Amino acid sequence: MTQNSPRLVVTPPPICNSPTLRKELSDRFPQAWFNTTGRYLSEEELIHYAGEADALLIGRDGVTDKILSALPRLKIIAKYGVGLDNIDQQALERHQVELRWTEGINRRSVAELTLSFILGLCHNVFRAGADLKQGQWAKEGGRMLKGKTVGIIGCGHIGMEVVRLLQPFECTVWVRDILDRSEFCAETGAVEKRFEEVLRGADILSLHVPLTDQTRNMMDKNAIHQMRLTAFLINTSRGEVVDQDALKEALLKGTLSGAALDVFAQEPPEDQELLACPNLMVTPHIGGNAQEAVEAMARAAFQHLEDYFSE
């Protein structure tokens, strides 16, 4: 695609920092501009760099009505990743800008990190390793996953993949989703439960919901208080799904045994008191960033753009 090539602005650092992916995209779109800041762009930066763009390839950058109003040439946005909570979709309709993305493309990567968290929390891997590096030989081996109850809140693409990965571990799996998952449960042996039942009965609670008005702070102080004292909470979905102040309080008071977070309400997080909790395991939003997932998400976005401009 060289003659009258569309002007494309590309923001996701995993694409912009990859010579291989940059070349693949530049070969298709010679007028592509790549973000070199190493981070996603602010509203003002996106307006500045994309003022003449026909297309955007974005990740976690916010797309607002103000941005769309300032980009008169924009025809399409291709989304790197799966979450759409950073995009004002009503504004897209008003400005007649098309949005394309691929659902569930990073499901395995996120599910594998979730399983790593589950096993790491159960077997005290993270805390024991940190203690050893500080010179403490504390042989606290934790608990086995076998025989435990794992609660999955949100049984979409990623939640289902987590359920499948758990099958060899001989644990009980409960799921809660807004859709009927009876067929999937019959296939995998998982059991559908009410939200409150999962909260109160799970040994490990893992969140896999999109960020919406209904899921924002769904794990608030009241919800966390209903969990078992010995339970673990895992969030690899969106940071705003968990009230981080309530989680910090529960971890510090010992009313929750432990937690693992790959996502935060503010990224990077600034609450050092939360990050310092010894019973909290953290990663910097890497769930979907396994190399294979990065390449798959990038190439899916490339294809969406090529399909659009070939139509």
> Catalytic: which of 108, 238, 240, 304?
238
Query: Which residue shows structure tokens 């979730």?
Result: 114
Which of 60, 94, 56, 90 lies closest to 73 in space, CA to CA? 56
CB 199 within 8 A of CB 227: yes
Q: Is 285 among the catalytic positions? A: yes
> Catalytic: which of 44, 93, 103, 267?
267
Q: Which residues contact 31 (CB under 8 A, 6 or more apart)?
A: 5, 6, 7, 8
Edge-first strand listing for the sheet containing 55-58? 32-34, 8-10, 55-58, 76-79, 98-100
* Residue 179 φ then ψ, to 5°: -105, 160
> In which region does residue 104 sit, left (phi positive, over 0), alpha (psi from -120 to 50) or beta (all else)?
left
Q: Is 123 among the catalytic positions? A: no
Q: What is the DSSP string of 182-221?
A: HHHHHHH--EE--HHHHHHH-SEEEE-----TTTTT-B-H
CA distance 182 to 161: 16
CA distance 223 to 203: 14
Q: What is the DSSP string of 157-176?
A: HHHHHHHHHHGGG--EEEEE
CA distance 190 to 171: 10
> Catalytic: which of 285, 295, 306, 311?
285
Dihedral sign computed on CA atoms, order 77, 14, 125, 279: negative
Q: Is 238 among the catalytic positions? A: yes
One-letter amino acid of 227: M
- What number of residues does the chain have? 311
**Which residues carry out catalysis?**
238, 267, 285
